Structure 1
Amino acid sequence: MANSDFRPVYHPAGHDNELRSALQDLRTGRWLSMRNLLESTPDWTLWTQRTQVLGAVAAGSDAVQAWLTEEPRSVAAAVMHARVVVERAVRAHREGHRRAQELWQQAWEACRAAAHASPADPVPWVCLLALSQLDERQRLEEHRLHPPGPMLFPGPWGLLAEADKRDPFNREAYHRMLQFVYARKAGGTLSEAVNFVQWAASSAPDGSALHVLPLYVRVERYRRERGHEKALDLHWVTEDAERDAVRALDIWFLRTSAPSHTLLDLNYLAHALWGALQFADAAPVFRELGPYFTSLPWAYRTRTPKDPGGAEEVFLRARSRALAAARDPGRGPHG
């Protein structure tokens, strides 16, 4: 078996060794490594990525609160506090927890405090965008502003603009906006999502991760249509699907360096190229992933999406096929 000597692993830090070390300490309740890591983070792209991963892990402990108590004037601690309470509010809303509304209010206040403490930071505004998806009926005025272009929807465009002002084309900000589209009670249609990601990608510069956004919507359509149950699944080999995959490869992957590539984007790109039968093109993406993978989107190609073993097997099959095509470029798409 070609994959017998290789088993992929999932780790939220991926190739970021410094983040991995900070997460290890954070899981034991220690916050000093997190503080030191954030102090040495050089740009908003990495800052956004690292605070997101740290916030998801820290939401299960009191480590950030301990840091804030010890260093009440720390700007980084204020931003991480916003990350943590937003993560808790989103989880509570998803689970229908009785304190969801209270946690939402606490998170909103923490985001505003962080924005005041760190005026140049996009993360407090990204956090407010994350909270916007909880307002499914768009009761708050800031969540139903007039869109900046035709074929778009009323939404939290002011929040996106604030994030954009501080870090143009911030990856997480646009992903949070996409999640808002899906959550809208008044719409939430796939056509709205398609219009949004095409609008976002059309203005993004070469090298921007926003060029991967269309691949996420294609996976969401596949998930909703339960594409894996079709006898002949042509979803991934259409001209549009191939164009989106190759465009993301050419304009994002091949024009940026590895440190700026998130594991999730790499997995979505590898999955799209494999699905479009562009096996040799998928090979360098799999090679960059190295030992790491994420269960999504591979899990959607199984009959039991919640089975991590199934997702891993699909990933291994795709990886093996892509690497084999790269070794033997004379093979056609069907081998």
Structure 2
Amino acid sequence: MPMPQARPVYHPAGHDAPLRAVLQDLKAGRWVSTRNLLTETPDWGLWTQRTQILAAAVAGSDVVRTWRQEEPRSVVATVLHCRVAVERALRAHRAGHRQTPTLWREAADACRLASSTSPEDPVPWIGLLALAQLDEGQRWEEHRLPAPEPMLFPGPWQLLAQADKRDPGNREAFHRMLQFAYQRRPGAPLTAALNFVQWASASAPAGSALHVLPLYAHVERYRREGGSERALDLHWITEDATRNALRALHLWFDHAMPGWMSLLDLNHLAHALWGAHQFHDALRVFEALEPFFTVVPWTYRTAVPGDTEAATDLFVQARARSYGAAKGHRRRS
């Protein structure tokens, strides 16, 4: 394969072409195509991913409220409404907005309504799990329940269990629990989070995105520790980091359905394999990403985190390095 020359692009829907099409409609206030797509979505994992992306795209508009007014009995609209409400509450919390408590209550009510409307759906429980991170200090009893294993932290384990019962190994549910672990004691050592991702991935079947979870914990650790570029390079060639990258490759990437893989997961895997000098394997993931990328985790290696251009430059450099190393290896073989 010739080395790609074009700069990658970001699109929240990535390789999900049907979702890319309906996103444009929904942003323009047209919701019929969204209803049709979600109604035809074949499994809970893809349903979870699509509803999350759609809600994030229209959380600042009233299109879902209008839809519910026109179709008050629509299950799809009710679930997407809970998604939007949760997204608004989380954004308000991150911004320190004074309306956060009100939006939090509204979002929790929307999740409970969606749960009663669609009892088999994991999304309302994922919404409640996402809201748990707003409970700083774990004042609510349901957010400090005993863990299923002694090495794990008290938390909203029943909410995770409810989502997991409906869609075993649901990617977003476990990521929300990981975010909760980070928020329990901000700035505290990441031991609890590392224990969680190892526990979650240990028993996951082949093809499960939970095998990528440890890579997120590695990124968070070096993001917090900072340090020089050299220190970050050394982080990824450690035995532990390399082993986790290769496990994610062989137990997730080699078994997952290409069009349904999360762009974030693919970028974390490409980033980890490149950092671990597994260039031939990294190139396989870069090829699967074409023509897309995500700013995270590349931005954490740039001088100014959040600089999209610098993150894109680094992605292109890593892709070229992986291509060059893999091509050289093929010539020697």
TM normalised by structure 1 equals: 0.95
State the match for 1:234 in structure 2. Answer: 234
State the match for 1:214 in structure 2. Answer: 214
State the match for 1:176 in structure 2. Answer: 176
User: 1-side partners of 2:116 and 2:232: how far apart?
Assistant: 54
Please say if 1:82 is aligned against 2:88.
Answer: no
Please say if 1:100 is aligned against 2:115.
Answer: no
State the match for 1:18 in structure 2. Answer: 18
User: 2-side partners of 1:4 and 1:267: how far apart?
Assistant: 16
| Amino acid in structure 2 at the alignment position of 1:121 | D
Confirm or deny: 8 A CA contact 1:181 1:189 kept in the other structure: no
State the match for 1:132 in structure 2. Answer: 132
Confirm or deny: 8 A CA contact 1:48 1:172 kept in the other structure: yes
| Amino acid in structure 2 at the alignment position of 1:194 | L
Residue 7 of structure 1 aligns to a residue whose secondary structure is coil
1:145-160 matched pairs, under 5 angstroms: 145-160=145-160
Shift of the 186–290 alpha-carbon distance from structure 1 to 2, 3 Å rule, reads closer
State the match for 1:277 in structure 2. Answer: 277
Confirm or deny: 8 A CA contact 2:216 2:268 kept in the other structure: yes
State the match for 1:61 in structure 2. Answer: 61
| Amino acid in structure 2 at the alignment position of 1:101 | P
User: 1-side partners of 2:187 and 2:321: how far apart?
Assistant: 39
State the match for 2:205 in structure 1. Answer: 205
Identical residues among aligned pairs (%): 63
Confirm or deny: 8 A CA contact 1:228 1:301 kept in the other structure: no
State the match for 1:189 in structure 2. Answer: 189
Which stretch shifts more, 145-154 or 26-35? Answer: 26-35
1:189, CA displacement in angstroms? 3.2
State the match for 2:319 in structure 1. Answer: 319
Confirm or deny: 8 A CA contact 2:233 2:275 kept in the other structure: no
Please say if 1:52 is aligned against 2:52.
Answer: yes
| Amino acid in structure 1 at the alignment position of 2:33 | S
Residue 235 of structure 1 aligns to a residue whose secondary structure is helix
| Amino acid in structure 2 at the alignment position of 1:160 | L
1:247, CA displacement in angstroms? 0.6
Shift of the 4–262 alpha-carbon distance from structure 1 to 2, 3 Å rule, reads closer
Cα deviation digits, residues 249-282 of structure 1 (max 9, x gap): 0110011220231100000000000000000011
Gap regions ≥5 residues in structure 1: none
Shift of the 168–284 alpha-carbon distance from structure 1 to 2, 3 Å rule, reads same
| Amino acid in structure 2 at the alignment position of 1:116 | S
Confirm or deny: 8 A CA contact 2:222 2:232 kept in the other structure: no
Cα deviation digits, residues 17-37 of structure 1 (max 9, x gap): 110111101111221111111
Residue 236 of structure 2 aligns to a residue whose secondary structure is coil
Confirm or deny: 8 A CA contact 1:227 1:235 kept in the other structure: no
Which stretch shifts more, 227-236 or 179-188? Answer: 227-236
User: 2-side partners of 1:249 and 1:233: how far apart?
Assistant: 19
Gap regions ≥5 residues in structure 2: none
User: 2-side partners of 1:107 and 1:59: how far apart?
Assistant: 12
User: 2-side partners of 1:232 and 1:168: how far apart?
Assistant: 34
1:58, CA displacement in angstroms? 1.6
Confirm or deny: 8 A CA contact 1:245 1:272 kept in the other structure: yes
Shift of the 326–140 alpha-carbon distance from structure 1 to 2, 3 Å rule, reads same
1:229, CA displacement in angstroms? 5.0
State the match for 1:109 in structure 2. Answer: 109
1:330, CA displacement in angstroms? 5.0
Shift of the 38–231 alpha-carbon distance from structure 1 to 2, 3 Å rule, reads closer
Shift of the 60–115 alpha-carbon distance from structure 1 to 2, 3 Å rule, reads same
User: 1-side partners of 2:164 and 2:188: how far apart?
Assistant: 23
1:230, CA displacement in angstroms? 4.8
Aligned length: 331
